[in-house]
């Protein structure tokens, strides 16, 4: 059975925690120990026999940990690793969700404490993981064993889809799916604001826009047709939809804007790793 220690329980950490606690038996989890100095600010955390919460490592039981999940801020990673090594062994998995932090950097940090052959997994999940609808990209250290890779995949599959990619693509993944939910949330905000400006009640505007986005996403999931065809299906010549799309598509306006935004996210991920 697996003992997981979650270092940091912000929004993403909580999303993963919910998924693991909902799949304790299938993953083979015996215990999840959560360490976060701001527990009193996190609101209601899930109650579960396998879960325990501490505001510092000093207050937690000194037990061997099979998986250390580093869900802290990138600038706090070095200190977190130094604190956690006392609970680790050569076969402990170090799973990082920090943007920009490379496997090489982690191996160097861990190697100063416990030597080589570290079992390191770098991942980039996203917040829909809280609903079991996330997508996580995964890249493993060259020395990662098949058994530990399988455990990492099981942990992450409990909160949605998982894809394995070469590590050099992780900054791009951050820009696509890691930050992606925020792009959709902002789209909804913009649509809702204009709906209200056109006279629609605020509550109705929110329901209409959220349901539209949700339904459109489900159509893309279930349809055999590509999104471009689904768009064309509701774009009658001379109709209202095409009138709107003319503004979004003229001179590739939306494609250009989205490209600039995603490139900014990718570059920031790279900067965080330096």
pLDDT digits (tens, 9 = 90+) for 211-235: 999 999 999 999 999 999 999 999 9
What's the mean pLDDT in 195-210?
A: 98
pLDDT at 166 over 70: yes
pLDDT digits (tens, 9 = 90+) for 96-129: 998 888 999 999 888 876 665 579 999 999 989 8
pLDDT at 130 over 90: no
What's the mean pLDDT in 127-138?
A: 92
Q: Please, which pLDDT band fits residue 206 given cuts at 50, 70 and 90? A: very high
Q: Which fold has domain 180-272?
A: ProC C-terminal domain-like fold (1.10.3730)
pLDDT digits (tens, 9 = 90+) for 31-65: 999 999 888 888 888 899 999 999 888 888 888 88
Q: What value does the mean pLDDT of the chain take?
A: 92
The Cα–Cα gap between 15 and 18 comes to 5
Burial of 86 (0-12, 13-18, 19+ CB in 10 A): exposed
pLDDT digits (tens, 9 = 90+) for 70-100: 998 888 888 888 888 888 888 899 999 988 8
3-state secondary structure of 152: helix
3-state secondary structure of 6: strand
Instruction: Give pLDDT, residue 204.
Output: 98
The Cα–Cα gap between 88 and 233 comes to 55
Instruction: Give pLDDT, residue 43.
Output: 80
pLDDT digits (tens, 9 = 90+) for 238-258: 999 999 999 999 999 999 999
Instruction: Give pLDDT, residue 86.
Output: 83
DSSP string, 248-270: HHGGGHHHHHHHHHHHHHHHHHH
Per-domain residue ranges for the chain? 2-168, 180-272
Strands 119-124 and 134-140 come out as antiparallel
The Cα–Cα gap between 84 and 70 comes to 10
Domain at 2-168: CATH code: 3.40.50.720
């Amino acid at each position: 059975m697996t003992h997981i220690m979650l270092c940091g329980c912000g929004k993403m950490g909580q999303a993963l925690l919910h998924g693991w606690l909902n799949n304790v038996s299938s993953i083979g989890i015996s215990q999840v120990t959560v360490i976060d100095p701001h527990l009193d600010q996190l609101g209601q955390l899930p109650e579960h026999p396998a879960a325990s919460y501490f505001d510092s490592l000093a207050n937690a039981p000194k037990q061997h940990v099979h998986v250390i999940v580093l869900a802290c801020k990138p600038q706090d990673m070095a200190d977190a690793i130094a604190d956690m090594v006392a609970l680790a062994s050569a076969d402990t998995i170090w799973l990082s969700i920090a943007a920009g932090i490379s496997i090489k950097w982690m191996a160097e940090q861990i190697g100063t404490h416990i030597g080589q052959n570290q079992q390191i997994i770098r991942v980039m999940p996203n917040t829909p993981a809280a609903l079991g609808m996330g997508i996580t990209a995964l890249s493993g250290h060259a020395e990662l064993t098949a058994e530990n890779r399988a455990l990492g995949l099981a942990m992450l599959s409990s909160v949605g889809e998982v894809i394995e990619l070469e590590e050099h693509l992780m900054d791009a993944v951050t820009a696509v799916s890691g930050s992606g939910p925020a792009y959709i949330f902002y789209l909804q905000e913009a649509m809702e604001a204009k709906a209200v400006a056109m006279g629609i009640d605020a509550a109705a505007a929110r329901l209409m826009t959220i349901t539209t986005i949700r339904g459109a996403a489900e159509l893309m999931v279930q349809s055999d047709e590509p999104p471009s065809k689904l768009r064309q299906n509701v774009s009658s010549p001379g109709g209202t939809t095409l009138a709107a799309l003319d503004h979004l598509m003229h001179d590739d306006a939306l494609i250009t804007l989205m490209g600039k935004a995603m490139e900014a996210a990718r570059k920031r991920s790279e900067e965080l790793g330096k």
